[in-house]
Amino acid sequence: MGDDHSFTLHAMTSLAATYRNQGKLREAAELGIRVMELKSKTLGQEHYDTLLTIAEYAMTLSEQGQHDEAELLEVHIFDVSLKNLGERDPFTLNSMINLAVTYGNQGHYHKAENLLSQAIAAAAAATSDKNQVMLQAMVNLASIYGNQGSWKQAEVLFTQVVELRSKVLGDRHADTVAAMEDLVMKYRSQGRLREADELRLRALGMDEGELEDEDSPRW
């Protein structure tokens, strides 16, 4: 079997992902670009499997701090998926979120805001698989607002995420608790300790009388 055999490509893709998860970014990048080139040659640059590989490689570049290089790849993924799949497809929506995150990492907050707002609107209009993608876009947009010091706008979005995740997943689900933790941190950073404690109790499934002393460890 040659490097361009489907089994070999799958194995190389899995190994590159393993390297990235282990923090071996140089090895992941070297293998990722090889797989990307092979899939582009054998499947074409617009094939779904090729786009997935390009997305993985772009994430590796981002983790290495090479945001400009990652942006070029993510723009390609977004353009192709928008053309072939449409704006409301989950793959397109995720490509929008990834590109927006890169814009945020570059300090291009206005671009990130616009793209995330577009993703939220498109996900809300989708008929299936919309909740998780929409919520992820909302979390990222809230973080962009927070990075710019727009705490009120960030708080509104974080609150909406908590309530939506609670409604869909329940208060005890890990994703809901994570959203609560984000909002608790925002409250505490503003000195709103009472609201932070109330939300923390909700996340822990406790009654108010069970709240530990202020000196006790907090998550």
Note the pLDDT of residue 119.
Answer: 94
DSSP class of 191: T
pTM: 0.81
Note the pLDDT of residue 17.
Answer: 85
Note the pLDDT of residue 50.
Answer: 92
Note the pLDDT of residue 178.
Answer: 87
DSSP class of 205: T
Note the pLDDT of residue 127.
Answer: 62
Note the pLDDT of residue 164.
Answer: 87
What's the one-letter identity of residue 104? G
User: Is 67 within 8 Å of 106 (Cβ atoms)?
Assistant: yes
Note the pLDDT of residue 128.
Answer: 59
Q: For the chain, list residues with pLDDT below 70.
A: 1-5, 127-130, 206-219
